[in-house]
Amino acid sequence: MPLEPLFDYAILDKEVCVPHPVTGLLSYGYIEPYSSRNLTLPGGDIYLRVGKHHGFSKGFGVRHIWEGHGHELVSAGCQTIEDVPAFVAGILSQGAQILCEGYQTRDGYRLTIVRGAKGVVILSPQLDAAGENFYSVVTAYKVLKKQSAMKVGTLKAKKAP
């Protein structure tokens, strides 16, 4: 008898946060604030949301990752959409490099998290309803595309409240 999926990604609202597959927490990590002469980045927790997919480079979250990169994630152990959170968590681990490529959206600078051969996660800064900063997972993929970027830190474990 097949196991019931933990989440039915087809019917869940795009804004629903998917818990970390190991810790069960909603946060997948924390980005420390960063400031230099030419760049200021807010600090905030990282959340993986159910998301949506509207095509190439249009969307965010689990649905967007699976629809856009599922074919290449099979070699990383992702057999179904339910495996995407574990893939993302494997990249968003303590010590991963945080890069800023200088790509700015209306919400702020996107960040790239690189975990060597495991893959890459792209984050977008957001504000929650209370006006608090957080980072939303836009996409994740296995293939590292050569890009010029400035290192702005390393991923830290979430600080206790």
Cβ of 110: how many Cβ atoms within 10 Å? 18
- C-beta of residue 85 within 8 angstroms of C-beta of residue 76: no
Helix, strand or coil, per DSSP, at residue 54 = strand
Highest mean pLDDT, choosing among 71-80, 107-116, 138-147: 71-80
Sheet holding 119-127, edge to edge: 27-31, 44-47, 133-141, 119-127, 108-115, 97-105, 150-154
Residues 40-66 have pLDDT tens digits of: 899 999 999 999 877 677 889 999 999
Beta bridge partners, 35, equal: 40
pTM of the model: 0.83
Report the alpha-carbon distance of residue 122 to residue 6 in Å, rounded.
24
From the number of C-beta atoms within 10 Å of its C-beta (0-12, 13-18, 19+), residue 67 rates as: middle
Residues 59-105 have pLDDT tens digits of: 899 999 998 888 888 888 889 999 999 999 999 988 888 988 777 77
DSSP 82: G
